[in-house]
C-alpha cells in the first residue's frame, strides 16, 4: 500500500497549568495569546495562565497546504529556538515557543495519524480499515484488551496509593522574608545527561538574559521573571533548587545574586512606604507601594498583596 500524503494540519498546545490539547487547523488564520478579559482583543486560542504572553502574541496564516507563523509581540516568538523576525513557513513537528512555558507544536498528518492524535491510540488495522471504508471490527470484543486494562489498572492503583502515602518534604524558606521560595523551591527536576536538554536549558537562559537583562537588572518585574526562567533551565539540568546548583552553575549564581538584589530593593521600598504611610505622605507612599507591586508579579507573595492593596486604596494620590 502506498504511503498516504499528509492532508491535515494540526496544532498541539502545551501550557503550564492546563492539560495538553490538539486542535485541527482548517481556517485562514489563528491567533494565540493571553487574551483580553474585556473582550477588546479576540484570540482563537487563549492561555490565560502564562503571564509572559502578550494579549495577542502570534498568528498562524494559511499558505498553500500549510501555514506560516507571524510574531505580534515585543516579547518575541521562537521556532525551534530561533527568533521569528519575518513570517516563517512551518514544517511538520516545528516547535513554536511563546511566553514563559507555552509550547505550540505544528503537525501535518494523514487521515490515520490525525485519527490517532485526536481520538487516542486504537488498533492500526482498525483505523486503516475505517479510512479505506472497510467494515471495522469492534476492538471491545477482544478478551486480551480487557485483560490488559484490568492488569494495568491494578498497577496504576498500587502506584497512586504509594505516591499518596508519601509525605511531602517542605523546605523552610531561606534567603529573606519575601523571596526565600525563589531559592529553595523544588524545581520538579528530572535529572538527565541528554545533550539536547543541556542545549535547551542554555537556550532558555540565554533568551531570558536577552529579554530581561543580566546582572543588576532593575526594570519592573524583569528580575523576578529572570529568576523564574533560570529555575526552568536548572530543572532541565536535574537540579532540585537554585541553592543546590549555585556552586556548579554560573546561571544559578546569577539567580542568587538577582534574588539578593531584589530582596534588598523591595525591602528598602517597603520600609520607605511604611514611613511615608505613617507620616501621612500619601502620594509618596502610593508610589513606593506601586513599585513593589510592579516588581513582584506573583500575587501569592504577602508583601506584594499588601502593597497592591494600599496602592489601590491610595490611587487618588498622584
**How do residues 203-219 score in pLDDT, each as one tens digit?**
877 787 777 777 666 67
- 184/105 same-domain check: no
Asked if 226 contacts 262 with a C-beta cutoff of 8 angstroms, the reply is: no
Q: Kindly state whether residue 116 falls inside one of the protein's structural domains.
A: yes
- 97/189 same-domain check: no
- Does the pLDDT of residue 93 top 80, yes or no? yes
**How high is the pLDDT of residue 137?**
58
Mean pLDDT over 70-85 rounds to 93
- The secondary structure element, H or E, covering residue 165 is helix 143-165
Q: Kindly state whether residue 99 falls inside one of the protein's structural domains.
A: yes
**Most trustworthy range by pLDDT among 18-27, 80-89, 267-276:** 80-89
- 113/231 same-domain check: no
**How high is the pLDDT of residue 318?**
63
- 20/111 same-domain check: yes
Residue 100: domain span: 8-121
Average pLDDT value over all residues in the chain: 77
**In this structure, what CATH number is given to the domain that contains residue 74?**
2.60.200.20
- 188/258 same-domain check: yes
**Higher pLDDT, residue 230 or 34:** 34
Q: Kindly state whether residue 21 falls inside one of the protein's structural domains.
A: yes
- 185/272 same-domain check: yes
**How high is the pLDDT of residue 96?**
95
Give the three-state DSSP class for 60.
strand
- 184/309 same-domain check: yes
Q: Kindly state whether residue 225 falls inside one of the protein's structural domains.
A: yes
**How high is the pLDDT of residue 83?**
94
Burial class (CB in 10 A: 0-12, 13-18, 19+), 26: exposed
Look at residues 105, 121, 137 and tell me which one is the last residue of a structural domain: 121
pLDDT confidence band for 243 (50 / 70 / 90)? confident
Q: Kindly state whether residue 261 falls inside one of the protein's structural domains.
A: yes
Backbone angles phi, psi at 158, to 5 degrees: -65, -45
**Most trustworthy range by pLDDT among 3-17, 68-82, 196-210:** 68-82
Look at residues 104, 121, 138 and tell me which one is the last residue of a structural domain: 121
pLDDT confidence band for 63 (50 / 70 / 90)? very high
Mean pLDDT over 69-82 rounds to 93
- Does the pLDDT of residue 195 top 60, yes or no? yes
Look at residues 81, 106, 121 and tell me which one is the last residue of a structural domain: 121
Q: How many domains does the chain have?
A: 2
**How high is the pLDDT of residue 132?**
53
- 194/275 same-domain check: yes
pLDDT in tens, 147-194: 888 888 888 887 776 655 444 332 323 334 455 555 555 555 454 556
Separation of alpha carbons 238 and 241, rounded Å? 9
Query: What pTM was estimated for this model as a whole?
Result: 0.39
Q: Kindly state whether residue 133 falls inside one of the protein's structural domains.
A: no
Q: Kindly state whether residue 22 falls inside one of the protein's structural domains.
A: yes
**How high is the pLDDT of residue 118?**
73
**How high is the pLDDT of residue 123?**
41
- 192/291 same-domain check: yes
- Does the pLDDT of residue 39 top 60, yes or no? yes
pLDDT confidence band for 144 (50 / 70 / 90)? confident
Amino acid at each position: 500500500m502506498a504511503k498516504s500524503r499528509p492532508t491535515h494540519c494540526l496544532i498541539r498546545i502545551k501550557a503550564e497549568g492546563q492539560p495538553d490539547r490538539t486542535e485541527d487547523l482548517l481556517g485562514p488564520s489563528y491567533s494565540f495569546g493571553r487574551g483580553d478579559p474585556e473582550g477588546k482583543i479576540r484570540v482563537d486560542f487563549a492561555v490565560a495562565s502564562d503571564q509572559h504572553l502578550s494579549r495577542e502574541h502570534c498568528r498562524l496564516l494559511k499558505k498553500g497546504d500549510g501555514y506560516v507563523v507571524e510574531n505580534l509581540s515585543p516579547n518575541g516568538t521562537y521556532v525551534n529556538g530561533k527568533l521569528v523576525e519575518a513570517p516563517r513557513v512551518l514544517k511538520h513537528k516545528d516547535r513554536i515557543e511563546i511566553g514563559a512555558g507555552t509550547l505550540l507544536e505544528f503537525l501535518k498528518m494523514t487521515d490515520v495519524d490525525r485519527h490517532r492524535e485526536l481520538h487516542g491510540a486504537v488498533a492500526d488495522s482498525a483505523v486503516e480499515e475505517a479510512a479505506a471504508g472497510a467494515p471495522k471490527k469492534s476492538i471491545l470484543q477482544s478478551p486480551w484488551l480487557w485483560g490488559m486494562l484490568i492488569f494495568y489498572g491494578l498497577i496504576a492503583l498500587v502506584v497512586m496509593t504509594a505516591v499518596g502515602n508519601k509525605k511531602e518534604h517542605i523546605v523552610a524558606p531561606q534567603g529573606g522574608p519575601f523571596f526565600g521560595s525563589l531559592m529553595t523551591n523544588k524545581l520538579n527536576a528530572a535529572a538527565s545527561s541528554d545533550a539536547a536538554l543541556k542545549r535547551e536549558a542554555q537556550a532558555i537562559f540565554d533568551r531570558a538574559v536577552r529579554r530581561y537583562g543580566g546582572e543588576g537588572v532593575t526594570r519592573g518585574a524583569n528580575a523576578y521573571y529572570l529568576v523564574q526562567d533560570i529555575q526552568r533551565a536548572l530543572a532541565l539540568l536535574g537540579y532540585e533548587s537554585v541553592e543546590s546548583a549555585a556552586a556548579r552553575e554560573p546561571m544559578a549564581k546569577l539567580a542568587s545574586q538577582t534574588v539578593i538584589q531584589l530582596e534588598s530593593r523591595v525591602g528598602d521600598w517597603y520600609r520607605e512606604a511604611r514611613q511615608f504611610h505613617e507620616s501621612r505622605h500619601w502620594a509618596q507612599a502610593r508610589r513606593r507601594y506601586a513599585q513593589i507591586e510592579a516588581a513582584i508579579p506573583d500575587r501569592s507573595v504577602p508583601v506584594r498583596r499588601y502593597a497592591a492593596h494600599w496602592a489601590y486604596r491610595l490611587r487618588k494620590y498622584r
